[in-house]
């Protein structure tokens, strides 16, 4: 039982790394879906630069979060970075023209993908769980104690 208690954090950390890491080839590879997502979000925000570079910016943040999550002493920071990034993703899926099911044109055909929203929710909840597990460590950064 001590082994499980000691290593239980690896499960949600690996779930997040698989989700975020799995999206990196799309963010850095110039996929039509990624281009559409960041074009819509950048236009919604009125940030021209985000329309073309948002995928690279968010991909870099997610890659850093993955590295931190795989480093036990830095896991709390990776969880915070993941929770913030996924909160943004969830917000844009729900409250922008992007939608829960993303629809885009690729090679002259309409495509759609509803999994991104749900994967963001799973990553967000996993990060929250990790933050809760590391709450003492995170509160110490703020000069506070749990209790």
Structure tokens that stand for 114 in this block: 């509803």
pTM: 0.92
* Positions in the chain whose pLDDT score sits under 70: 1, 5, 146-147
Q: How many CA atoms lie within 13 A of 5 on its CB side?
A: 2
To 5 degrees, how large is the angle CA 109–CA 112–CA 113? 145
DSSP per-residue string spanning 26-90? HHHTT-HHHHHHHHHHHHHHT-HHHHHHHHHHHHHHHHHHHHHHTSGGGHHHHHHHHHHHHHHHH
The Cα 119–Cα 90 span in angstroms is 10
| Per-residue model confidence (pLDDT) at position 11 | 96
């Amino acid at each position: 039982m001590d082994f499980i208690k000691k290593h239980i954090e690896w499960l949600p950390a690996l779930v997040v790394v698989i989700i975020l890491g799995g999206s990196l080839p799309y963010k850095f590879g110039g996929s039509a879906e990624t281009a559409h997502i960041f074009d819509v979000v950048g236009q919604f925000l009125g940030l021209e630069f985000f329309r073309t570079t948002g995928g690279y910016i968010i991909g870099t943040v997610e890659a850093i979060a993955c590295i931190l999550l795989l480093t036990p002493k830095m896991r709390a920071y990776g969880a915070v970075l993941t929770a913030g990034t996924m909160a943004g993703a969830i917000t844009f899926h729900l409250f922008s023209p992007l939608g829960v099911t993303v629809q885009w044109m690729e090679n002259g055909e309409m495509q759609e993908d509803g999994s991104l929203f749900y994967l963001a929710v799973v990553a967000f909840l996993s990060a929250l769980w990790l933050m809760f597990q590391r709450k003492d460590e995170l509160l110490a950064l703020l000069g506070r104690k749990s209790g």
